[in-house]
Amino acid sequence: MGPLAGLKIIELAGIGPCPMCGMLLAELGADVLKLDRVHPSGLGLGVADEQAFLHRSRRSVAVNLKLAEGADLALRLVDQADALIEGFRPGTTERLGLGPDTCLARNPKLVYGRVTGWGQTGPLSQTAGHDLNYIALTGALHAIGRAGHPPTPPLNLVGDFGGGALYLALGVVAALLDAQRSGQGQVVDAAMIDGAASLMTGIYALLRAGLTTDTRGANVLDSGAHFYEVYETLDRRYIALAPIEPRFYAVLLDRLGLTPSELPHSTVPEDWPDLKSKLAALIKTRTRDEWTQVLEGTDACFSPVMSQKEAPHHPHNEARATFVQEGGWQPNAAPRFSRTPSRIRSAAAPAGAHTREALIDWGVEIDEIDHLLATGAIVQHA
C-alpha cells in the first residue's frame, strides 16, 4: 500500500502530462479511476491503449461525457472523490458541466487539478500548442543545444512531463494535505510554461550571478566545457563525462594517464575548444565498453550513453530494478518508500476495460450500470 492509499481520484483521460500524473498518483497508492472516451484515441501518436505505459496502474471506465447521463454519472463519482485531474483546453470541462465551480459546489473538499500548456489565464491560454512551444517562452529551449546550432528539442520531457505532470502531481498532493487540515478543496492550475520556467530557476540564478551566459553551447552545463560533455568512442558510441569539481577531474586524469599540465581543469571558456579537441581525440582511441571498464565505478563522473534498448540491462539498473519487463521493458514506479512502497499496480488496459467492476466498487448500482450501458452513456470494452 503506497503513501496515498485510501485516496480516490478521478482522471478525465487525455494525453501527455495528465495521464502521467494519473500514473504517478496511482503508483503512490491512490485509487485513480480513469474516465476514458467511449472511442479512445490512445496517446495520439498511434500507440495502442494496451501499449501505452502511461495508462498503467489504474482502471478505466468508458463514459460519454457529452451525454447528460454520462456527465451526471461523472458528477456523482466526483461526490465521493478526493481529487479530480484533467488536461483539456481551458473551458472544456465547464462546457461539459464538469467545471471546478460545479464540482466544488457538490464536494467542497475536492482538489481540482488542471494541467495545460499556457495555463488557465493569459493571452495565449486558448491557443493550441505543444511542449516545444511552452518551453520556447521560458528560456529553456534557447539554452539547450550546441554552439552554432539551433536549439535542440529535449524530447517532451521539460514541458509535458517535468513542467506539467510532476508539478500537477505535486500541486494535487499539496492541496490534498491542505484539504485534510482545512476541510476545503481548491483548484490547482498547473501550466507547463510555469513548470518549465520553475525548472529553470537554478539556471537563471547562474545567469544572474554571472556564472553562465545567454549564449547556447558556451557554458559549463550546455556542452561548452570539456569537462561536461558527451564524447564519441572508437565504435561510434558515446560516453558522458561530467567531472565538474576539481577533485573529480583529478580522478579522470589519473584514470586517463594524464597530468594536469597536459589537460588542465580550466574554467576559462576560451580554453575549452582546444581542451575538448584533445580529450575527444583520446576518447576516440577506445570503444565505449573499453572506457566503461576503465572509468565506471570511479569518481570520474562517467557513464556510458545507453540506448533505450540497452538501459534496462545495465548492471546498476538491474540491481535496483529501475526497469521492469511487463509487456515490454518500461521504467519502474518511482520514487521509493521504506514503509509504504510505490509499485506498478497493473498493466495498461484498453479504455473501458473495467467499466462494470470499477463502477460497482465506486458504489454504482448494478441496475443503473446496465441502464447506462444500454443507453451508450458508458461502454464496457473487452
Please tell me which residue in 130, 149, 313, 371 is annotated as part of the active site: 130
H helices within the chain, ranges in order? Answer: 17-27, 68-78, 92-95, 100-106, 131-136, 140-143, 167-182, 192-199, 201-208, 246-256, 272-283, 288-295, 315-320, 355-361, 366-375
Dig out the grid coordinates for 379 from the structure: 461502454
> Does the CA dihedral 50-51-52-55 come out positive or negative?
positive
Dig out the grid coordinates for 320 from the structure.
535496483
Nearest by Cα to 87 from 180, 171, 17, 170 = 17
Query: Which residue among 49, 160, 189, 222 is the active-site one?
Result: 160
Residue of 69, 100, 62, 95 whose CA lies nearest to 83 = 100
Cross-strand partners of 59? 33
- Is the distance from CB of 263 to CB of 229 less than 8 angstroms? no
Active site residue 226: no
Q: Are 87 and 14 in contact (CB under 8 A)?
A: yes
Q: Is 160 a catalytic residue?
A: yes
Alpha carbon distance 84, 140 (integer Å): 30
For the annotated catalytic residues, the residue numbers are 130, 160
